[in-house]
Amino acid sequence: MVLTELSPNMNNNYKNKSLPNYKSVFLDWNLVQTDMKNKLGMDIYESWLKKIKFIEELNNYVLLSVPTRFIRDWITSRYLDQILQIIKIYKKNIIRIEFKIVEQTSDKDENKINLETTENKDNVSFIKDTYLQYNRIDQNKRFDNFVIGSSNKLAYEASLKVTENISHYNPLYIYGGVGMGKTHLLNSIGLELKKKYKVMFISAERFMYQFVKSIKSNEMVKFKEYFRNTDILLIDDIQFMNGKEAMQEEFFHTFNALLDKGSQIVVTADRAPNNLTRIQERIRSRFSGGLVIDVQKPENELRKRIVEGKTNEMNKLYLGQINISKEIKEFISNEITNSIRELVGAVNRIVSFSRIYNKAPNLAETKLVLKDLLNLSENKVTIDLIQTVVCKFFKISKNEMLSSRRSRYLVRPRQTAIYLTKILTSKSLPEIGREFSNRDHTTIIHSVRTIEKIKQRDTEMLKNIEKLKNQILYVNKENEI
Chain contacts with ligand ADP (rule: CB under 6 A): 41, 141, 145-147, 152, 176, 178-184, 306, 340-341, 344
Residue 184 touches which member of ligand ADP, Mg ion, none, C-beta under 5-8 Å by kind = ligand ADP
Q: What is the dihedral of CA 234, 254, 252, 127, to 10 degrees?
A: 70
**Of the two residues 301 and 384, which places its CB atom closer to ligand ADP in the complex?**
301
Residue 341 contact among Mg ion, ligand ADP, none, beta carbon within 5 to 8 Å by kind: ligand ADP
Q: Minimum distance from CB of 36 to ligand ADP (Å)?
A: 13
Nearer to ligand ADP, 265 or 306 (CB): 306
List of residues contacting Mg ion (CB under 5 A): 182-183
Cβ contacts of 322-328, under 8 Å, gap ≥ 24: 322/351, 322/354, 322/355, 322/360, 323/354, 323/360, 324/350, 324/351, 324/354, 324/360, 325/360, 327/363, 328/360, 328/361, 328/362, 328/363, 328/366
- Using DSSP's 3-state secondary structure scheme, residue 306 falls into helix
- The least CB distance from residue 62 to ligand ADP, in Å, is 26
* Neighbour tally for 58: CB within 10 Å: 11
| Closer residue to ligand ADP in complex, CB, 8/177 | 177
Nearest approach, Cβ of residue 351 and Mg ion (Å): 22
Q: CB-wise, 70 or 207, nearer to ligand ADP? A: 207
In the complex, which residue's CB is closest to ligand ADP? Answer: 181
Where does 48-166 have alpha helices with state H? 69-78, 80-90, 153-164
Q: Rounded to the nearest whole angstrom, what is the least distance from the CB of residue 151 to Mg ion in the complex?
A: 16
Identify which of residues 41 and 67 has a Cβ nearer to Mg ion in the complex. 41
Q: Which does 306 bind (CB under 5 to 8 A by kind): Mg ion, ligand ADP, none?
A: ligand ADP
Peptide bond between residue 171 and the one before it cis (omega within 30 degrees of 0): yes
Q: Which does 213 bind (CB under 5 to 8 A by kind): ligand ADP, Mg ion, none?
A: none
CB nearer to ligand ADP: give 175 or 211: 175
At 101, the amino acid letter reads: I
CA gap 303, 294 in Å, rounded: 18
**Residue among 286 and 341 whose Cβ is closer to ligand ADP:** 341
User: Which residue's CB is nearer to Mg ion, number 49 or number 364?
Assistant: 49
344 binds, among Mg ion, ligand ADP, none (CB under 5 to 8 A by kind): ligand ADP
Least distance between ligand ADP and beta carbon 174 (Å): 8
Residue nearest to Mg ion (CB): 183
Smallest distance from ligand ADP to CB 141, Å = 5
d(CA 399, CA 410): 10
Pick one of Mg ion, ligand ADP, none as the site partner of residue 311 (Cβ within 5 to 8 A by kind): none
Residue 160, classed as helix, strand or coil, is helix
CA dist 19 and 255 (Å) reads 57
User: Minimum distance from CB of 88 to Mg ion (Å)?
Assistant: 23
**233 beta partners:** 200, 265
CB of 214 to Mg ion, least distance (A): 24
Question: Shortest approach of ligand ADP to residue 168 CB, angstroms?
Answer: 22
Q: How far is the C-alpha of 140 from the C-alpha of 96, rounded, in Å?
A: 35
Nearer to ligand ADP, 266 or 420 (CB): 266
Q: Give which of Mg ion, ligand ADP, none residue 373 binds (C-beta under 5 to 8 Å, depending on kind).
A: none
* Residue 275 interacts with which of ligand ADP, Mg ion, none, CB < 5 to 8 Å by class: none
CA distances from 204 to 207, 288, 361 (A): 5, 18, 40
- 278 class by beta-carbon count within 10 Å (0-12 exposed, 13-18 middle, 19+ buried): exposed
Report the partner that residue 69 touches, choosing among Mg ion, ligand ADP, none (CB closer than 5 to 8 A by kind): none
C-alpha span between 95 and 67 (Å, rounded): 23
CB 192 → Mg ion: shortest distance, Å?
18
382 interacts with, out of Mg ion, ligand ADP, none, CB within 5 to 8 A per kind: none
Amino acid, single-letter form, for residue 349:
R
Beta carbon nearer to ligand ADP, 4 or 188: 188
- Smallest distance, Å, CB 147 to ligand ADP? 4
DSSP 379-415: GGS-HHHHHHHHHHHHT--HHHHHS----HHHHHHHH
Strands 61-66 vs 53-57: parallel, antiparallel or unpaired = antiparallel
Rounded to whole angstroms, the Cα distance separating 440 from 436 reads 9
Reduced 3-state DSSP string for 167-205: CCCCCEEEEECCCCCHHHHHHHHHHHHCCCCCEEEEEHH
Contacted entry of ligand ADP, Mg ion, none for residue 67, CB cut-off 5 to 8 Å set by kind: none
| Alpha carbons 481 and 477: distance in angstroms, whole number | 7
416 binds, options ligand ADP, Mg ion, none, Cβ within 5 to 8 A by partner type: none
**Looking at beta carbons only, is 41 or 171 nearer to ligand ADP?**
41
Minimum gap (Å) between residue 179 Cβ and ligand ADP = 4
Is the CA virtual torsion 106, 111, 112, 117 positive or negative? negative
Indicate the residue among 67 and 190 with the shorter CB distance to ligand ADP. 190
